[in-house]
Amino acid sequence: MSKRGDRLQNKGKRGSRRAAAERSASGTKRKTRSSGRGRGGGGAVAAQPSFMWRWTKRLTLWGLALVVLAAIFLACAVGFAAREIPSFYQLKTTTNAQTILVRARDGSEIVELGPSFGEWLDYEDIPENMKNAMIAVEDKRYFDHYGVDPIRTTGAVVEGFTGARSRVGGTSTISQQLARNLFLNSNRTFDRKAREAILAMALEWKFSKEEILELYLNKVYFGGGAYGIDSASRNFFSHPATELSIAEASIIAGLVKAPSRYSPTADVQAAVDRARVVLRLMREQGYINASQASVDVGAVQLKQQVGQNSVRYFTDWALPQLDILLPETNEPLEVWTTIDVGMQRAATTSIDANTPDGSQGALVSLDRDGAVLALVGGKDYVESNFNRATSAMRQPGSSWKLFVYLAALEAGYTPGDTVKDVPVTIDGWSPRNANGRNVGDTTLRASFAYSINTVAAQLGNEVGFGTVASMARRFGISTPVSTFPSMVLGSSEVRLIDMTRAFAAVSAKGMAVEPYGITKVMTAGGETIYEREKPRQTPLVPDYVAAGITDLLQTAVNTGTGKAAQIGRPVAGKTGTTSSNKDGWFVGFSSGITTGVWMGRDDAKAVPGLQGGRAPAAAFAAYMRYAVKDRAIEEFDTDLDLPAWRLEPDEEYLYGDPDDYYFIDEQGNLIEPGRRDPDEDPFDVDGERGDGTQNNDEPPPAVSEDFLEEATGGALPPERNTPPPAPLPQRTQPTQNRPQPPPP
């Protein structure tokens, strides 16, 4: 057979085999369909692997596409962020926040608030122990990632689901922390964390690892206003960061996680425990050996904080006022204040020495114009920064009687008038005296000096409780004032600074006093942007009322409940004690300085033996001896220069209404209060005579019932056969001014 024939024969065989295979496959398909119809769809199971494979492949492709798109988006975001990040030099020279240097009245520096940056240290000048300590505790894979640590991030996600918490550091890398400190806030939101991660990678793109670590160690916040390791070293150890020891470096590195909690000035033991954790991590990561890791951290000498404890109560009260006094600014400021450094120390010492154990104390001292000379808001600012001098609201006890007697004096009483100490009930309220006894007739002066409650209740009822409340508000009480009868004994809560302000107004002979603490504000360049102007004086009560209440206040110290406040020169003041000895007060003045002292517990529980005439008065005296030592002795003006109409009481006008200021004669013409001759020229509505002279010291005349009937057009009343009413009883004047104490 020829070769051609062989090829044709082989081709025919292959064709036959192909045809047979196709027939076999066709038959198999028919069988499969037939079998599927017969067994209920078993063919779908055979096709399932192919379907799953197709969808798995599609999802994988879509996932890869999304990853690529996300990578492109991330790269673009990082690139754009890197373009917007300032240069290394700009970041190095830019501060994070405003600094405020506070000066005393003599110009001396008392405290610097806000960020303190110290000296910038280049990477080569930063101690190796400081670098290693920070990396060990905050970011042990710092040199192995590109801004975000995937291992830490994954661990954080796992811990978020499991609720476990085993890591010593946080989830953010050093680069992320730097990004947050430079550009973001500390809100724990997904959006902020995403931006933080992008900025961290942008920083890694733009700067080297060494530059990032240099920025971090010079910019991160370590508490106490200290930004950067040099500022922290100077604040806590009194030397630059270039001299840091291993133990000191471990303390500073441990602060980043929680600057307030681990601050060595706030909690030494917490700072030491945290530093030991840092040393252990440094040992585990090979930065130090076992001997170095066992260093005694507790032996580190901390910087002594001098003169910044109690003065922070003053700055907490005064500096927020800058928001009102100044336009918005972020530049460094120098604030000149009224505080006297020596008086502030004396105030702190007097409170510490006299406050009962387990209780708190506060003191406010004002100059005659309202300048705050000293302010102590508690026994220890670090332990509690709550300002009891300006924020606490407590019942003032009998020191509130200042306003009761002011209202009585303004209503016509004098210190020598006779009043009755007898049991009294007013609207169901029956006040009792502290000693449980009543002395009967006494003087207004003695009732104030010995703080007789029944007399205060009668005076308040006579002048009106609303009048007493109005007097308190007039003298600067800004808290709500009750008008129930018990308010005369100090049931309304007040602030110490407000009570001190009220007594300062009495010291100023009845002129209003506004406490202030800032006199001048300057920029770092020396430009004055605020200077206090002297306010216009506003009289609160007439001179004779101020003189009368000063008489009462001086007697309370000389012979009454305030004897412990005597300092060898004239002092006027008032004690205050609340029920169950929960609060003790003494507020008084001498030589132009007014000082208020409060003592008690923050939880308002009773303090055994606490009375206003004891510990608070003793603290007042201890402070005032120092405060007035360089001032001239000033005698009080207690002479009552009464107006003419007060000197000779007229029975007739006692029937009139003292609140009526406009009167008419029988012809309907205005007549001047106190004028008896109807032929005189009437005065104008401003109170001037026809000749232009003032005459406001005479009382109004009585308006008879007959005149009212005739003036209003009513019928005249029938003639009366009854005798006229008896005159009101006159207040008797005592034969001597010295108050008579209650009988034992």
| pLDDT of res. 150 | 78
d(CA 144, CA 146): 7
Three-state secondary structure string covering 204-219: HHHCCHHHHHHHHHHH
Choice among 51-55, 191-195, 224-228 with the minimum mean pLDDT: 191-195
**85 pLDDT tier (thresholds 50, 70, 90):** confident
Digit-coded pLDDT (tens) for 677-688: 444 443 333 333
pLDDT(653) > 80: no
Asked whether the predicted pLDDT for residue 422 surpasses 60, the reply is yes
pLDDT(645) > 80: no
The most confident of 52-61, 110-119, 394-403, 711-720, by mean pLDDT:
394-403
Q: Token pair for residue 125?
A: 């000048």
Q: Which of 283, 381, 375 is nearest to 338 (CA)?
A: 375
**Backbone φ and ψ of 642, nearest 5°:** -75, 150
Residues 6+ apart with CB under 8 A from 132: 282, 287, 288
pLDDT tens digits, 285-297: 999 999 999 999 9
Q: Give helix 543-558 / helix 401-411 axis angle, nearest 10°.
A: 140
So what's the pLDDT on residue 149? 79
Q: Do 345 and 565 form a contact (C-beta atoms < 8 A)? A: no
Span of 69-83, 255-269, 287-301 with lowest mean pLDDT: 69-83
Mean pLDDT, to the nearest integer, of 255-263?
86
- Please tell me the predicted confidence (pLDDT) of residue 124: 94
- Answer whether residue 642 shows pLDDT above 70: no
Where are the domains positioned within the chain? 115-299, 349-627, 652-726
**pLDDT at position 41 over 50:** no
Residue range 581-610: average pLDDT?
97
Tens digits of residue pLDDT in 363-402 = 999 999 999 999 999 998 878 889 999 999 999 999 999 9
pLDDT of residue 258: 86
How far apart CA 310 and CA 590 sit, in angstroms, is: 24
Structure-model confidence comparison of residues 220 and 738, the more confident one? 220
- Using a 10 angstrom Cβ sphere, with 0-12 exposed, 13-18 middle and 19 or more buried, the burial of residue 165 is exposed
pLDDT above 70 (res 739): no
User: ∠ CA 202-206-211 to the nearest 5 degrees?
Assistant: 110
Enter the CATH code of domain 115-299.
Answer: 1.10.3810.10
The 10s digit of each residue's pLDDT in 662-715 is 444 445 454 444 444 444 443 333 333 334 444 444 444 444 445 444 444 444
Q: Pick from 392, 390, 404, 343: which is nearest to 574 by CA?
A: 404
Lowest mean pLDDT among 122-131, 360-369, 630-639, 730-739: 730-739
The Cα 681–Cα 703 span in angstroms is: 19
User: 10 Å Cβ neighbour count for 493?
Assistant: 15
pLDDT digits (tens, 9 = 90+) for 307-328: 447 899 999 999 999 988 988 7
Highest mean pLDDT among 254-268, 356-370, 524-538, 649-663: 356-370
Of 13-17, 136-140, 260-264, 559-563, minimum mean pLDDT range: 13-17
Q: Can you give the pTM of this predicted structure?
A: 0.62
Residue 602 pLDDT: 95
Task: Identify the weakest region by mean pLDDT among 50-54, 478-482, 610-614.
Answer: 50-54
DSSP annotation of 288? S
Please compute the mean of the pLDDT values over residues 329-344 and round it to a whole number. Answer: 91
3-state secondary structure 128-174: HHHHHHHHHHHCCCHHHCCCCCHHHHHHHHHHHHHCCCCCCCCCCCH
Select the highest-mean-pLDDT range: 83-97, 263-277, 331-345, 719-733. Answer: 331-345
Q: Answer yes or no: is pLDDT of 480 > 80.
A: yes
Structure tokens at 68: 């690529």
Average pLDDT over residues 226-230: 89
pLDDT bucket at 483, cuts 50 / 70 / 90: very high
Three-class secondary structure of residue 392 per DSSP: coil
Give the DSSP letter string of 626-646.
HHTTTS------------HHH
With beta carbons less than 8 A apart as the criterion, state whether 209 and 145 touch. no
Which amino acid, one-letter code, is at 171?
Answer: T
3-state secondary structure of 501: helix
* Residue 36 confidence (pLDDT): 43
Amino acid 377: pLDDT: 96
Q: What is the mean pLDDT of residues 234-245?
A: 91
Lowest mean pLDDT among 181-195, 221-235, 429-443: 181-195
pLDDT of residue 697: 44
pLDDT of residue 59: 80
> What whole-number distance in Å separates Cα of residue 587 and Cα of residue 573?
5
Domain 349-627 coded CATH 3.40.640.10: no
Confidence (pLDDT) at 162 = 59
- pLDDT band at residue 329 under the 50/70/90 scheme: confident
Is pLDDT of 610 > 80? yes
For 476-487, what is the mean pLDDT? 96
